[in-house]
A and B are shown apart, each in its own frame.
Chain A
Amino acid sequence: MERPIRVLVAKPGLDGHDRGAKVIARALRDAGMEVIYTGLRQTPEQIVEAAIQEDVDVVALSILSGAHNTLFPKITKLLKERGAEDILVIGGGVIPEEDIPFLKEHGIAEIFTPGTPTSAVIEYIKANVKRLAKK
């Protein structure tokens, strides 16, 4: 059997609900991926540690609190420090257009704003996941 893509769906920051994260988690599962879901209020350190221990191919971050400009780059920086910069990091949630270039500069591969169909996220992951071939 072919190896499923492993994705960590994480919710950094302090905002209190995870509806969006759950929707994306289910969509990725239905697309045949193995989704590791870690729950609410994760610190960047916890997210990176979980990504390493789970040896995931993708980290999908969901955020509503507006703290993406500090939290997202912190996560990519920590991943780099651990030698795990080959993990594909994507983000979603309420993120203003004008913040997107900054986030991409800091290692977030793609940002999905509200209203993006989940199928677009799935296709993006399938087309851009890096670690499958490497092994």
Chain B
Amino acid sequence: MMELEKLLLNRDKRAIARAITYAEDDEEKAREIIRKLYKRSGNAYIVGITGPPGVGKSTLTDRLVKNLVEEGKKIGIIAVDPTSPFTGGSILGDRIRMQDLTTHPNVYIRSMGTRGHLGGLSKGTYMAVRILDIAGMDYVFVETVGVGQSEVDIIKIADTVVMVLAPGLGDDIQAIKAGIMEIADVFVVNKSDREGADKTVLELNMMLDLDMPKEWRPPVVKAVAQEGKGIGEVLEKIHSHKEYLISSGQLEERRKNRIKMEITESVKNKLMKDVFAKMGNEEFDQKIQKVMAKEIDPYTVAEALYRQILERRE
């Protein structure tokens, strides 16, 4: 373990990889690592890249990161894709668009499946971001597929959320209007080489102007990620959003909320583990039978279970 920690601080890719595997599979171990190195965290700027399937999120991420590494920045990328609820399997294909970055010494890329976790992130994503932060990355990019209101967890993780859209997604814009509009700090209309880009930009701007006046009015940027067009402008907007967050005190606010979430999640996961452990035994089966026979109700059982767990913990 000591060795792993040392390597992690040296940004050794195998060490990062193993630590993230712990975050996914063995939370206890990941927690131990983060606990010891927590003082090193807090320096990475976290950018969420989200939007409907196929709009060019990975291609855009690839280009943004290429620009940043040229300035000497160190970057971690986490690409989250949905896991099939039926088979538990997934195909994680975001790396296809980031091939050139694979062997770059200052870039680490990891693909994650959501593994049944709702909200567009996986249970391990948060810890994985922390691990990359501790490893000394200047930026961590988190790509998630976001199409509906159930997939907005990205906002809990990112400092700046970039919402990527493409022309001809009329219905998707309606869906965005219906709730996830609020989460975007920067809009990118990618695939602007296609017809209808200006119309999409116009629609977005109209929508944003109808919105209540806010301190930060999300800008809308046109891009052709595939050809590297508009990349500089997207980066500029990310930077100005960062400056806004700092000067308005919002960055601190966001990070405070994130710490709160981290604590609640951790408590929740620990408790859930105990709950499931308790539910495995015969005594519990008998209680279910009693509920079935209407001798007791589910809430009494729940209350008793909760007390049992608390007592044992004390």
Contacts and interface: CB of A to CB of B under 8 A. Distances in A.
Interface of A: 1, 3-4, 25-26, 28-39, 42, 45-46, 49-50, 52-55, 82-84, 135
A29 B96 contact: no
A32 to B, nearest CB: 4
Given A1-B116, A32-B88, 17 more contacts: A3-B24, A29-B87, A30-B87, A31-B89, A34-B83, A35-B90, A36-B92, A37-B96, A46-B103, A49-B13, A49-B102, A49-B103, A52-B13, A53-B16, A53-B102, A55-B20, A82-B14
Interface secondary structure of B, over-half rule = mixed
A29 B91 CA distance: 6
Contacts of A54: 17, 110-111
A4 B96 contact: no
Given A53-B17, A54-B110, A55-B20, A33 B95 contact: no
Contact of A32 (B16, B17, B89, B93): B89
* Chain B CB within 10 Å, residue with most, of A31, A34, A135: A34
Interface string B1-38: 00000000000011011101100111000000000000
A90 to B, nearest CB: 17
B71 to A, nearest CB: 22
A17 to B, nearest CB: 14
Interface in B197-242: none
Nearest to A38: B95
B84 A55 contact: no
A1 B115 contact: yes
Interface of A is mostly: mixed
Nearest to B14: A52
Given A37-B96, A50-B102, A4 B111 contact: no
12 contacts: A4-B83, A30-B89, A31-B89, A36-B93, A39-B99, A45-B103, A46-B99, A50-B95, A50-B109, A53-B16, A53-B102, A84-B14
B139 interface: no
Contacts of A28: 89
A29 B14 contact: no
B108 A53 contact: yes
B93 A37 contact: yes
B89 A33 contact: yes
